[in-house]
Amino acid sequence: MKKIAFLFATLALVPAPALAEDTVSVTIETRDLNLADPVDQLRLDNRVERSIREACDNDARDGASLSDQRQCRTELRKAARAGVAVAIAKTPNFRLSNAVSEDAGA
């Protein structure tokens, strides 16, 4: 099985528990998301879930391989949860590009 590290667009590195010798890094783009927005938080969750499936799928369908895939997904979800929480916590309530100066209307 693989040991995976998620990189949230340079915001946080979240290592998964050791699952094997190999290490795979998955980059999940967040720069296009406003993580203060629940809709964009859902988009991030979907990206994380898709990356987990891709990283853990080993194309084998025997019992041991399926068990390894389940364990991989479980461990990565735990690790990703912490990374997502950090990314959201570091997000301001709005994007600077969306900010409007109070003096703009004067």
Flag whether 98 is in a domain: no
- What's the rounded mean pLDDT across residues 80-105? 64
Domain annotation covers residue 99? no
| Total of domains in the chain | 1
Q: Is residue 103 part of a domain?
A: no
Residue 97 lies inside a defined structural domain of this protein: no
> What's the token pair of residue 30?
């967040």
33 in any annotated domain = yes
Whether 47 maps to a domain, the answer reads yes
The verdict on residue 106 lying in a domain is no
Tokens 């340079």: give the residue. Answer: 10
Residue 51: inside a domain, yes or no? yes
Residue type, 5: A
By residue range, what is the domain housing residue 9? Answer: 3-92
Most confident of 19-23, 50-54, 102-106: 50-54
Which residues are 4's β-sheet partners? 24
Is residue 33 classed as helix, strand or coil in its secondary structure? coil
Q: Using an 8 Å Cβ cutoff, are 92 and 37 in contact?
A: no
- On the question of pLDDT at 30 being above 70, the answer is yes
User: What does pLDDT average to over the chain?
Assistant: 71
